[in-house]
Amino acid sequence: MASSALLKRTVLIKSIVNGFQASRAYASVAVGTDLISAAPDVALQKARSWDEGVSSKFATTPLKGIFKDKKVVIFGLPGAYTGVCSAQHVPSYKNNIDKFKAKGIDSVICVAVNDPYVMNGWAEKLQAKEAIEFYGDFDGSFHKKLDLTIDLSAALLGPRSHRWSAYVVDGKIKVLNVEEKPSEFEVSGGDVLLGQI
């Protein structure tokens, strides 16, 4: 029953967002871009409960702390609890976590233009918090710096992230995949990126 409702919502959102034309097919970032230099003043918010946020004094994580001296797989998506993101994008990484770790990946990260509390609830609902690190980009500053934003106001989502994935080594992008439309799921999934590493 729940999967049927999710499928209906996914089809509805796909029909809405398929009508959107992205402002450009690819981001201004590219293979070779240093994410730390591209967004030096940006920090993300690790998924957590409200109480954890209060006890950490609402701490954020600078990009240097996420990428420096690490091999990272990161994927961005339009938003928590949305159809394709929940049913396909996150599971494609969760189901391949052991294969990514076998390739020497230090962390697999999901980021969306959401607050860290929503990201935490969603990660728990998907039972993916142990495998994937979830981060909120609450004001969209990370995605804006990378030119990976899209206006999904017609779907009542407002400014959001494009659907994308990257393999990053010591802050530098080695592989980058950006979907043409937010409803597409052709190049940004875990299976595709796994084959590119």
Rounded Cα gap, residues 55 and 126, in angstroms: 25
Phi and psi (nearest 5°) for 130?
-75, -30
The closest of 155, 157, 180 to 15, measured between CA atoms, is 155
Terminal Cα distance for the chain, rounded = 38
CB-based contacts of 164, cutoff 8 Å, min separation 6: 27, 75, 76, 148, 176, 177, 178, 179, 188
Rounded Cα gap, residues 185 and 180, in angstroms: 9
Instruction: Identify whether 85 is a catalytic site residue.
Output: yes
Q: Which amino acid is at 136?
A: G
Q: Left, alpha or beta for 116 (phi > 0: left; psi -120 to 50: alpha)?
A: alpha
* From 29, 35, 85, 113, the catalytic residue: 85
The strand pairing partners of 44, in sequence order, are 61
Quote the Cα angle for 85-78-114, to 5°: 105
Catalytic site positions: 85
